[in-house]
């Protein structure tokens, strides 16, 4: 009986950790695709309303992840990743206001490099808990 209870609770812990890593990976893809979609390319046109709708939809995914996370360490990491998404969107708004609405290839590559490191750390922290 004790063994069954232990296995049941251990399985729950593993499921929670896998869910947390899955959530982090989902948010990683949301942000990387966002960067790809808003990187300059020939023929791409800036559409403010579509941009704002996309930001709101993606932001909602970050907010949902933060709200549903029960572990304080992971919640803090998710809040940080959400803040990074907000800063990315703000950067594009500022660029659009100056007439250069998209990320350049160089900016996009640097953002991805930086975000990869941050998401890797978040994923590792999810394993440690």
Confidence of residue 121 (pLDDT cuts 50, 70, 90): confident
Name the residue with higher pLDDT: 122 or 99.
99
pTM above 0.75, yes or no: yes
Question: Nearest-CA neighbor of 102 among 60, 26, 53, 48?
Answer: 48
d(CA 25, CA 104): 25
pLDDT score recorded for residue 123:
83
Confidence of residue 126 (pLDDT cuts 50, 70, 90): low
Instruction: Determine phi and psi for 39, rounding to 5 degrees.
Output: -100, 135
**Chain segment 45-81, per-residue pLDDT in tens:** 999 999 999 999 999 999 999 999 888 888 998 999 9
Question: Nearest-CA neighbor of 47 among 108, 96, 104, 119?
Answer: 96
């Amino acid at each position: 009986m004790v063994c069954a209870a232990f296995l049941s609770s251990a399985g729950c812990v593993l499921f929670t950790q896998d869910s947390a890593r899955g959530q982090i990976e989902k948010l990683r893809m949301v942000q990387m695709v966002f960067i790809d979609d808003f990187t300059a390319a020939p023929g791409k046109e800036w559409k403010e309303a579509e941009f704002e709708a996309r930001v709101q939809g993606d932001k909602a995914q970050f907010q949902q992840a933060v709200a549903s996370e029960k572990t304080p360490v992971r919640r803090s990491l998710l809040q940080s990743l959400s803040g990074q998404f907000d800063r990315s969107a703000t950067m594009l708004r500022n660029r659009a206001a100056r007439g250069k609405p998209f990320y350049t290839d160089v900016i996009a590559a640097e953002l991805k490099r930086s975000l990869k490191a941050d998401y890797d750390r978040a994923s590792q922290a999810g394993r440690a808990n």
